[in-house]
Amino acid sequence: MYVSEQQAGPPVAVCGFYLAPRKAGFVLHMSASKGNLREMRHHLYEVVTAAGLSVETAESAQLVASELVGNAVRACGPWVPVVVQLSLGEGDIQLQVHDPHRDALPMRQELSPDNAEEVSGRGLWILDAVAPGWIVETTPLGKQVTCSLPRQPTS
């Protein structure tokens, strides 16, 4: 069960960035940009580590969220509106990214993840390694990718 449905503080709102904190996570509506991505990564790190989870867990959540938002930008273009939701469950962390392009589903590149010749195309390999079992669902407003990461408390 995810308890992020309850409000945990006032929202943070600026043009293109609306962060709604929840008791165990947040919901972020943002236009994808370098600055907003940096702020998203910061909030992810702060929420995960404040919950007593390891730096490695926070960095994995940042990596997964960055890959998913990056995929949305490649599919939809710069400044695409995305929704990023972080929910800290009892046994795992659920991370969801929603974008408006329902027909642009993630597709694995025809290359090996250790191919030194290519500079991109490894995002889905990273998801497989960090958050195996991720799923994609089409929605009336686009598509949503959901990933689960294990909770790793600080040592």
pLDDT value at residue 129: 84
Q: Which domain holds residue 142?
A: 12-150
Confidence of residue 119 (pLDDT cuts 50, 70, 90): very low
pLDDT value at residue 11: 82
**Domains identified in the chain, total number:** 1
pLDDT digits (tens, 9 = 90+) for 81-91: 999 999 999 88
Residue 133 in domain: yes
CATH number at residue 85: 3.30.565.10
Residue 7 in domain: no
Residue 55 in domain: yes
pLDDT digits (tens, 9 = 90+) for 30-85: 999 999 999 999 999 999 999 999 999 999 999 999 999 998 998 889 999 999 99
pTM of the predicted protein model: 0.84
| Mode of pairing for the β-strands spanning 25-31 and 17-22 | antiparallel
